[in-house]
Amino acid sequence: MNEIDLEFRLRQLGAVTYNIKLPETKAILKAIKAGEEINGVIWGKYSRSMLSETLAGRGALIVTNNRVILIDKKPMFSKVDEIAFRVISGISYSKAGVAGTVVLNTRLGDIHVRTLNKKCVDNFIKAVEAILSDNVNYTP
């Protein structure tokens, strides 16, 4: 996948120009493996509590046909975490004003992402729900 294909796919999933210009978007190309397809992505402020570790920052949460990836990219720092489908136990969404919060529940802990892009949220939730219903061949 190249930058043009990535941008086209992200726009299909609801990304706007602001999302495309974020540093996490550029990092997606390095995180995606050959043969992986992006089925959903949300950008925003996140907090992740897994086991005894709690992290927070700004990043992107991507669901592919093989896994979920959390990317946090800063000028001198980059963090990429992978979440296997088998540990995902649920997903929820709550809205307050123009912002909403997606909570990805896993057996290892939860990831909360506060975001503004409802179209991306809808596509992301559909992709995760397809995984939870064992329909891993979902394509939005």
Gap between the Cα atoms of 98 and 6, Å rounded: 27
* pLDDT over 70 percentage in the chain: 95
- Structural domains of the chain ordered from first start: 3-132 (2.30.29.30)
pLDDT at 139: 52
Three-state SS at 111:
strand
pLDDT band, very low/low/confident/very high, at 100 (cuts 50, 70, 90): very high
pLDDT in tens, 35-92: 999 999 999 999 988 767 788 899 999 999 999 999 999 888 899 999 999 999 999 9
Gap between the Cα atoms of 76 and 22, Å rounded: 15
Q: What is the mean pLDDT of residues 95-113?
A: 93
Tell me the average pLDDT of the chain. Answer: 91
Query: Cβ–Cβ contacts within 10 Å for residue 92, how many?
Result: 12
Gap between the Cα atoms of 110 and 80, Å rounded: 16
